[in-house]
């Protein structure tokens, strides 16, 4: 017998059981209405009881009504009140019966007064706010002159549950999201699943009984920068324990006490009915937001049941037992195994490139699968690239989304041929590329990382006036290494509010680590000027910001480049912690000549251009590019090839922008 058949059998039997239970309550109301009891009525009641006993015996599993009574600790009287309210939904004439029983046509609905008078085993404390019916909001009380005379209505979620229909309370929709997909986990994450499962197993039976009588279950705090992995771990724990998992974003927790209490009560009731656990997603909220942190802390302390908290950093000062687990990306060995398992028969085609892939990209199981899916689609399209390059590009794409929201991605197509530098400068840039390219070999295979884990990040300072090629050099490195380069304007990252700068920097580094991209911090002078003596809290905080960035740069598994116009303004202590310092001087005449020779693309029509004469313009490479581009537009608009006259007009425009004047010596012999 399959699961569908078993479920249908239970559903049919549950319907018979519920009908028998409703009929018995209706009988009590009818008997009260006629205010009499004779032999015939007793026989009728006996027959109804026999029907109920038979329906109970026919249940393949516990009936929904019995589950509700057990879960919420309902007495027989409270159970009958719930059924009396349910009769209003199933019997069209029950409203008339209520009116007749209460002797008032205006009261054609169930009330506590009717229940106390008509139902057996009546007790007054069933009406109390702390009693199950009202505490768990199993019934709703309408407006009336008195509590006992107010209309009663069964809660819709409970009504459907009694029938056997499962759905999430509509008041939780949009706040709480079901999460049932488990996904593959690395062995280190599977170990965390086992630890959490053991922690919670001994409380599970108590939780699935009467919730109000059990102590708080320890909160499981999953810390780290891997929200997808943390969700997968939580889902795996729930699958192992036979629980359903739901997720609530921390920003949706209401701060108003009454609204929070309503949310907590509805969730706890839902957790009992669906045997569920809750994951509080705290990953997108900063711990420095004290007001929000206080609200979240109150929620954690108040809500009962199985609770995960997913956050970047550990929460403290919560008055409830919390057990914390740090969730990291899979280890290098685990990622290699995941790639091998995902690629299967395609792995031999990589010819040893898999180690290079794993060394560069620090991916989760889900991201690895997504990268493979994208690469497989390209292979099916018959792209003329080998598998290693296709996978490399797919990994770059998968690592982009988080960082695209925080920084400007620069698409790089320039090569070493586009750089005009001295041999010393170019050699230093090529050394930087070698450090990035051979990082895994030196650090891992040759053991340097095991000997000393500090200072493994590759950092560089590009110093020079505006337009001397600092950004261009970063683009050349990115293109040469087949990596993305992201530009971060440090002037926009710095905040006057304490802690905000570190938060902004942390978001950038955390997002960048997945793909090992090149980070280009522009205008480093904004943050890395000479650190001041500590005279007040602002000086102290500025030094903390500098120290934080230095620490993250030293740990960053990629290349971080800082640019500055004034190298002399940087603190020498800061300079000592930078691995490479490349000076970009103002280009001399020879270098400007070479820049002019290379500046126009091959397809640009030119006529009579003299690079030697053009090099007389005393401007940087960035200005030369602006002049060349403007000259091209002028020539195109005149339907002519680019000539010296166009460059002259463009030069005058550029000089005006620079608030300079063209000298006769600069343009002598041009036209």
Report pLDDT digits (tens) over 335-345. Answer: 988 888 888 76
The C-alpha angle 604, 644, 418, rounded to 5 degrees, equals: 45
| Pick from 278, 363, 423, 426: nearest CA to 557 | 363
Q: How far apart are the first and last CA of the chain?
A: 96
Residues of 522-561 as b/e, b for ≥16 C-beta within 10 angstroms?
bbbbebbbebeeeeeeeeebbeebbebbbebbbebbbbbb
Helical ranges in 275-419 per DSSP H = 290-302, 332-343, 354-360, 365-380, 387-398, 401-404
What average pLDDT does range 162-175 have in this prediction?
90
pLDDT number for residue 315? 84
- Spatial separation of the C-alpha atoms in residues 37 and 112, rounded to whole Å: 23
Q: What percent of the chain lies above the pLDDT cut of 70?
A: 89
Under the banding of pLDDT at 50, 70 and 90, the label for residue 32 is: very high
DSSP state of 166: -
Higher pLDDT, 141 or 511: 141
pTM for this model (two decimals): 0.80
What average pLDDT does range 578-601 have in this prediction?
93
Q: Which of 200-214, 456-470, 529-543 has the lowest mean pLDDT?
A: 529-543
Place of tokens 């000027």: 529
pLDDT number for residue 443? 84
pLDDT number for residue 287? 61
Dihedral in degrees, nearest 10, Cα atoms 502, 503, 507, 510: 60
In contact, 303 and 254? CB cutoff 8 Å? no
- Spatial separation of the C-alpha atoms in residues 122 and 624, rounded to whole Å: 94
- Spatial separation of the C-alpha atoms in residues 539 and 348, rounded to whole Å: 57
What average pLDDT does range 598-617 have in this prediction?
94
- Spatial separation of the C-alpha atoms in residues 173 and 157, rounded to whole Å: 12
Q: How many CB atoms lie within 10 A of CB 89?
A: 15
Confidence check: pLDDT of 506 > 60: yes
Residue 644 is encoded by which pair of tokens?
Answer: 């010296």
- Computed over every residue of the chain, the mean pLDDT equals 87
pLDDT number for residue 197? 93
Under the banding of pLDDT at 50, 70 and 90, the label for residue 649 is: very high
- Spatial separation of the C-alpha atoms in residues 45 and 398, rounded to whole Å: 69
Domain 416-583 CATH class label: alpha beta
Q: Is 284 helix (H, G, I), strand (E, B) or coil?
A: coil
pLDDT number for residue 533? 46
Confidence check: pLDDT of 314 > 50: yes
Place of tokens 């005279």: 535
Q: Is 582 helix (H, G, I), strand (E, B) or coil?
A: strand
Under CATH, which number does the domain 589-667 receive? 1.10.8.60
In contact, 544 and 537? CB cutoff 8 Å? no
Confidence check: pLDDT of 521 > 60: yes
Under the banding of pLDDT at 50, 70 and 90, the label for residue 195 is: very high
Under CATH, which number does the domain 177-326 receive? 3.40.50
């Amino acid at each position: 017998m399959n699961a569908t058949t078993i479920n249908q059998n239970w559903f049919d039997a549950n319907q018979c059981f519920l009908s028998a239970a409703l009929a018995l309550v209706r009988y009590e109301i009818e008997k009260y209405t006629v205010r009499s009891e004779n032999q015939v009525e007793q026989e009728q009641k006996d027959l109804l009881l026999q029907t109920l006993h038979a329906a109970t015996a026919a249940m393949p599993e516990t009936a929904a009504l019995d589950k509700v009574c057990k879960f919420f600790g309902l007495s027989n009287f409270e159970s009958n009140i719930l059924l009396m309210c349910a009769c209003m939904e199933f019997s069209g004439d029950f409203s008339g019966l209520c009116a007749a029983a209460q002797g008032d046509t205006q009261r054609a609905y169930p009330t506590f007064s009717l229940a106390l008078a008509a139902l057996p085993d009546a007790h007054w404390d069933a009406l109390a706010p702390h009693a199950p019916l009202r505490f768990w909001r199993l019934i709703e009380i309408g407006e009336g002159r008195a509590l006992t005379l107010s209309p009663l209505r069964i809660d819709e979620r409970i009504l459907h549950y009694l029938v056997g229909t499962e759905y999430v309370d509509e008041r939780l929709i949009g706040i709480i999201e079901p999460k049932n997909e488990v996904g593959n986990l690395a062995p280190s994450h599977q170990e965390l699943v086992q630890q959490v499962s053991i922690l919670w197993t001994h409380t599970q039976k108590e939780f699935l009984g009467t919730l109000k009588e059990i102590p708080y279950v320890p909160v499981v705090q999953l810390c780290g920068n891997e929200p997808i992995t943390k969700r997968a771990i939580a889902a795996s724990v729930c699958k192992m324990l036979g629980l359903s998992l739901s997720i609530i974003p921390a920003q949706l927790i209401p701060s108003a006490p009454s609204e929070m209490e309503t949310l907590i009560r509805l969730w706890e009731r839902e957790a009992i009915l669906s045997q569920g656990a809750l994951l509080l997603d705290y990953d997108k909220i900063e711990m420095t937001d004290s007001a929000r942190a206080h609200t979240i802390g109150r929620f954690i302390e108040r809500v009962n049941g199985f609770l995960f908290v997913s956050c970047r950093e550990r929460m403290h000062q919560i008055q409830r037992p919390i057990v914390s687990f740090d969730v990291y990306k899979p280890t290098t060995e685990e990622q290699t195994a995941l790639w091998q398992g995902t690629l299967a028969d395609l792995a031999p085609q990589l010819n040893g490139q898999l180690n290079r892939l794993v060394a560069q990209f620090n991916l989760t199981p889900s991201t690895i699968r997504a990268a493979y899916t994208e690469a497989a689609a390209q292979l099916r399209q018959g792209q003329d690239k080998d598998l290693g390059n296709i996978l490399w590009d797919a990994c770059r794409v998968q690592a982009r989304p988080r960082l695209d929201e925080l920084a400007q991605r620069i698409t790089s197509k320039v090569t070493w041929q586009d750089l005009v530098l001295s041999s010393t400068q170019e050699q230093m840039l090529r050394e930087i590329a070698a450090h990035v390219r051979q990082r895994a070999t030196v650090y891992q295979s040759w053991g340097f990382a095991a000997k000393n884990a500090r200072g493994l990040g590759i950092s560089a300072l590009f110093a020079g006036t505006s337009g001397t090629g600092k950004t261009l050099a970063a683009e050349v490195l990115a293109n040469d290494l087949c990596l993305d380069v992201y530009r971060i304007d440090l002037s926009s990252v710095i905040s006057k509010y304490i802690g905000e700068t570190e938060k902004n920097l942390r978001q950038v580094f955390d997002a960048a680590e997945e793909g090992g991209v090149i980070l280009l911090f522009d205008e480093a002078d904004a943050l890395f000027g000479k650190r001041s003596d500590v005279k007040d809290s602002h000086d102290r905080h500025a030094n903390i910001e500098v120290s934080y960035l230095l620490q993250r740069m030293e740990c960053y598994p990629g290349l971080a480049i800082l640019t500055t116009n004034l190298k002399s303004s940087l603190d020498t202590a800061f300079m000592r912690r930078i691995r490479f310092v490349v000076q970009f001087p103002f280009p001399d005449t020879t270098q400007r000549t070479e820049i002019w020779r290379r500046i126009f693309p091959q397809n640009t029509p030119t006529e009579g251009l003299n690079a030697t004469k053009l090099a007389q313009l005393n401007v940087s490479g960035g200005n030369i590019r602006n002049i060349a581009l403007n000259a091209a537009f002028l020539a195109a608009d005149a339907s002519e090839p680019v000539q010296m006259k166009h460059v002259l007009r463009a030069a005058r425009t550029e000089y005006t922008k620079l608030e300079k004047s063209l000298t006769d010596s600069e343009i002598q012999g041009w036209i």
